[in-house]
Amino acid sequence: MTEDHLDIKTPEYVAIQFKIAGLGSRAAAFIVDQVVLMLVNIVTIVILFFVMDGMESTPFFLKESTFPIAVVVIGLFILNWGYFFFFEFFSGGRTLGKKVVGIRVIQENGHSITLLSSFIRNLVRLIDSLPTAYFLGIVMIFFHPKHKRLGDLVAGTIVVHERKAKKKKKLSPIEKEINLRGLSQNDLGLDEWTLKSFTAKDWKLVSTYASRFHQLPVEERNQLTKQIADLLLTKTGIDLVEKKETELENDLLILYLILKEEWEFEF
């Protein structure tokens, strides 16, 4: 590992390099998230205030007791904690603030953050916020060689900079082929759970297929298409029985586009 960079070798022996997010970028993302949460909290409290104030039929014991306040406090706690948990798992390790800054949370092995890791990481957030204003978390991030807070250590996660897709002045032959066929990522419609089932090994396989697409004779390409489709497209639940060679090619090229966004990056 070089300074502020992390080299990961996956179980499939694919080397991936990540740039670790430091205190500055993480603090900027956190500030954006806090602004979003503050606005949501204010709107929620105002709405509840007017709702409670307008409920003339509300029982007397509810108006005079602290029960409604307790419900609001618990609800806001769940909202503020669940915000990080929900976005980090269901949005590929990115809260709204992280998306703006361009960072994300991943597992130390380079894979997307898991449900359990997201839960543990954000549960320990309560300790990282001690004694006030995330002091413990800030100190940990500043001094840890991989810029980890306590939640990252316990959950086995790390925050890295978003890897941007390579920009090319000219379209590659396979990109021209994809454009010619009018294909896009939305044509396959993979959900988050299905996308997480694809590994770096799958990406390497489909990227090799795409790179050799125009180099193979038609018969050999049809045979290779069928073999790779049996390995990869079955994960998507697509029925391959009635599919023609051209349709299988299209599905694999779409899958190539989808996995390319996840696995082929540069800093």
Q: What is the pTM of this model?
A: 0.59
Predicted confidence (pLDDT) per residue in 221-257, tens digit: 999 999 999 988 888 888 888 888 899 999 999 999 8
Are residues 105 and 177 both part of a single domain? no
Predicted confidence (pLDDT) per residue in 61-110, tens digit: 455 556 667 777 888 888 888 999 999 998 889 999 999 999 999 998 88
Are residues 96 and 201 both part of a single domain? no
Give me 19's structure tokens: 């740039």
Distance set, CA 131 to CA 84, 128, 138, 141, 154 (Å): 20, 8, 11, 16, 19
Predicted confidence (pLDDT) per residue in 135-165, tens digit: 999 999 999 999 999 999 999 999 999 876 5
Predicted confidence (pLDDT) per residue in 178-213, tens digit: 999 899 888 887 888 888 888 888 889 999 999 999
**Where a domain ends, among 161, 190, 224?**
161
**Where a domain ends, among 161, 196, 226?**
161
- Looking up tokens 């709204």 gives 96
Whether 26 and 144 have beta carbons less than 8 Å apart is answered as: no
In the beta sheet, which residues pair with residue 107?
157
Predicted confidence (pLDDT) per residue in 123-140, tens digit: 999 899 998 888 999 999
